[in-house]
Structure 1
Amino acid sequence: MAVYGIADLHLDSTGDKPMDIFGNNWVSHQDKIFNNWRNIVSEDDIVLIAGDISWALRLSEAYADLMKIEKLPGNKVITRGNHDYWWSTKSKLEGLGFKTIHFLHNDSFLYNSIVICGARGWASKDSDEFDSQDEKIFSREINRLDLSLSSIKDDSFEKIVMLHYPPFNTENKSPNEFVDIMKKYNVTKCVYGHLHGEGHKLVVEGNIEGIDFHCIACDYINFTPKEIIR
């Protein structure tokens, strides 16, 4: 069993949101992702999908994109991104009846000896135009990550956190409060996405304060799921 990660699929069954406006590397990006996925992921592997799954606005509209993911090899664990407006309650998400997709929603997912936890995260407090409303969302996402990690009752499992936003400050790339929560629960690895194009200059990776960090924004990893654990 291996664990892979990828974020920012930005699927669009309607064809209304072509991503190639962000660069030639995004041309036919869905085909690139799915072909690379099928070439490397096996049925007993886990793929962590860290947000911005579909451009759909409603859950019913996102179904077609989610079904494409359902049919790909492996077990998928998904957390919400800032563009996943279709995201709904846990009961409605589970009511879709997918067999290979688990939606993280203030909880965790255990697979063999690995526990996957996560939240959406939010922009860092030193980001441009961060205001009081952002402060509320930031605090709420901190609580959601804490809820997810506190749902683990056996501390012997390896813990992986998946976020959509990077858990680092913008100005000096230092770890922010999300990393403090991870340290509290002895998390070993963290994956995140969100950063595209010029945003790649803000990527932070490597072992920081005892946690291995991986950026898995799909254009950063050349639209190929990145191996996190083998």
Structure 2
Amino acid sequence: MGVSLLPKLFGISDLHLPGSTDKTMDLFGPQWTNHGQQIAVNWLNAVQEEDIVLIPGDISWAMKLPEAQPDLDLIGSWPGRKVLVRGNHDYWWQSISKLRQALPPTMYAIHNDSLHLEGINFCGTRGWKIPGDEGFTQEDEKIYLRELHRLELSLQAIRAEGEIIVMLHYPPFNEKGEPSGFVSLMKQYGVAKCVYGHLHGPKGKGGVTGPVDGISYYLVSCDQLGFAPMLIADIK
């Protein structure tokens, strides 16, 4: 009989795969050269079929779903079960029903709902700029409040016992390190972990990580991780 392996939980975001375009991330620095290949190699070395990988946004540069399909199929071919939320550059993510029809069987998308896997409740939304960020406008306020509502819908959709993990694309703290309404909501619902991305380069160094007031935060932008999925936890 084979040895039964406990699944692991990983996170990696901002894959920025080309999506049927010739767009690269090279202008953001030499570390981004062939970054898609770097991610693939590191993923295949770390992730097993029974594992779960959280991908909080900015998955593909594609503008429309058919253009993103090669990227989704590529990610779907890699080991593990993948859980997605939308990023600010995921313009191809429009109709959730069409997206779910297009996703490979090992991929799940969260949108105003939650997902229960391996005894864990996964919730999330894209997020947005938050009060205290530079240049925060009235229009930003509207989108921010809408995203808060979407996160609450996701948290309210939980139907099973278990740890709660929230996925956001944008950070839940502003540029000054001050908590937003997303943090308040997560505290209200007893969230244990929050995984987010969006921050790149030097900005990533200022991202809030580690335990803060009972919630553990993980910044998983791929360039902050050396383009390798971050091990978040062993699932027991």
- TM-score interval, smaller chain: over 0.9
Alignment match, 2:206: 202
**Residues 134 and 40 (structure 1 numbering): CA distance in 2 closer, same or farther, change over 3 Å?**
same
Instruction: Give distance in 2, aligned partners of 1:124 and 1:167.
Output: 8
- Mapping 1:44-59, distance limit 5 Å: 44-59=50-65
Q: Name the CA distance, whole Å, in 1 between partners of 2:48 and 2:196.
A: 22
Matched, 1:158 2:128: no
What is the deviation of 1:153? Answer: 2.2
The one-letter amino acid of 1:169's match is: N
The equivalent residue for 2:3 is none
Structure 1 CA distance for aligned equivalents of residues 98 and 19 of structure 2: 21
Aligned equivalent of 1:98: 104
**RMSD between aligned alpha carbons?**
1.0
Q: Partners of 1:4 and 1:110 in 2: how far apart?
A: 16
- Cα deviation for residue 14 of structure 1 reads 3.3
1:73 aligns with 2:68: no
Deviation at 1:202, TM superposition (A): 2.2
- Per the normalisation by structure 2, the TM-score is 0.94
Give how far 1:124 is off: 1.9
How far, CA to CA, are the matches of 1:126 and 1:175 in structure 2?
10
* Deviation beyond 3 Å, 4+ runs, structure 1: none
Cα distance in 1 between the residues matched to 2:92 and 2:100: 14
Return the letter of the residue paired with 1:128: E
Summarize deviations over 1:146-186 as a string: whole Å, max 9, x none: 011110123x3011001000100212x02211011111110
Q: How many Å apart are 1:97 and its aligned residue? A: 4.8
TM alignment of 1:1-150, pairs within 5 A: 1-150=7-156
Question: Distance in 2 between the 1:79 and 1:13 partners?
Answer: 17
Structure 2 residues not aligned, in runs of 5+: 1-6
Report sequence identity in percent. 50
Instruction: Find the counterpart in structure 2 of residue 183 from structure 1.
Output: 187
The structural deviation recorded for 1:143 is 0.5
Q: How many residue pairs end up in the alignment?
A: 228
SS of equivalent residue, structure 2 residue 225 = coil
The CA deviation at 1:47 is: 0.3
Match for 2:156: what amino acid?
S
Distance 1:13 1:211 in 2: 34
Q: Where does residue 174 of structure 2 map in the other structure? A: 169
Unmatched 5+ stretches in structure 1: none
Measure, in 2, the Cα distance between the counterparts of 1:17 and 1:42.
30
